[in-house]
Amino acid sequence: MVLPCKLVAIVAFLALLFDSSSCLPSIASKLTDPAPTTWPLQFHSILFMNNSGKLQKVELWYDWPNGRNFNIIQNQLGKLLYDLEWTNGTSFYYTLDSNRECRVMHFPVGILGPNWLQGANYLGQRYMDGFLCNVWEKVDFIWYCEDVVSKRPVYWAFFNGMTAHVMTFEVGKVLEDPNWQAPVYCFKEADDEEEQNPSLESVASSTTGSHGRFLRGAMALSLD
């Protein structure tokens, strides 16, 4: 029996609608997945870092309007290192002790923008450090946990196993301008710079020296 053209069209439409409806739950799920909270333009945070048992306390000052980011890194029973980063890609790694050490490095990207987690993949919810968190993953590089209630970051994990536990997160707190000035011995000629203490160079050059280096890496990957 030959069906009328209108009936054929209706049957075809219903078949297509039924087939498409099987995709609707996954589409709806994507539309309703929470997005990570955009970072505040300025904040102060204290982090405890663990890199395969090597512990660090990091005091982080983030100042996007002024294009700068500051990590003050206390290695367990070790060196106190200052990691001053600028949006032009320049970083100063230095100490303020009597050794007067400094290492200047240049990167192809600046500091992370407040929306650097945009486009991250939502992985669901899990408890981390006692907080119920939403969890996202960005380019297989960083896993980011955010408190469901307060929307504050709780925990970060990097691809190499380094983890960060967020102890404090103070929105709007700003470090005064004089503290953002690298010491004068960071601006010596390149020949003098090469004579700096090799232990500082090792810390500054190593990708495990600071979580800030990893965040620069995340920025570079997010621009690909």
- Tens-place pLDDT, residues 104-157: 999 888 899 999 999 999 999 999 999 999 999 998 899 999 999 999 999 999
60 pLDDT higher than 70: yes
**pLDDT: which is higher, 3 or 80:** 80
- Over residues 186-212, the mean pLDDT reads 52
14 & 91 share domain: no
- Indicate the range of 42-46, 55-59, 127-131, 212-216 predicted with least confidence: 212-216
Q: Tell me the pLDDT of the chain averaged across its residues.
A: 80
In this prediction, residue 27 has a pLDDT band, given cuts at 50, 70 and 90, of very low
21 & 55 share domain: no
Spatial distance between the Cα atoms of 181 and 150, rounded to a whole number of angstroms: 33
The pLDDT value given to residue 30: 59
167 & 93 share domain: yes
In this prediction, residue 21 has a pLDDT band, given cuts at 50, 70 and 90, of very low
Other residues' Cβ atoms within 10 Å of the Cβ of residue 19: 9
Edge-to-edge order in the sheet of strand 42-51: 102-106, 90-94, 80-86, 68-75, 54-63, 42-51, 163-171, 153-158, 142-147, 131-138, 121-128
28 & 57 share domain: no
193 & 113 share domain: yes
3 & 98 share domain: no
Q: How many domains does the chain have?
A: 2
Spatial distance between the Cα atoms of 70 and 177, rounded to a whole number of angstroms: 12
209 pLDDT higher than 60: no
Q: Please give the model's pTM, rounded to 2 decimal places.
A: 0.76
Range of the domain at 11: 1-32
The pLDDT value given to residue 200: 52
12 pLDDT higher than 80: no
- Residue count of the chain, please give it: 224
Q: Does any domain span residue 153?
A: yes
53 & 11 share domain: no
139 & 84 share domain: yes
Q: Does any domain span residue 37?
A: no
197 & 217 share domain: yes
2 pLDDT higher than 80: no
| Residue from 224, 210, 8 nearest 94 by CA | 210
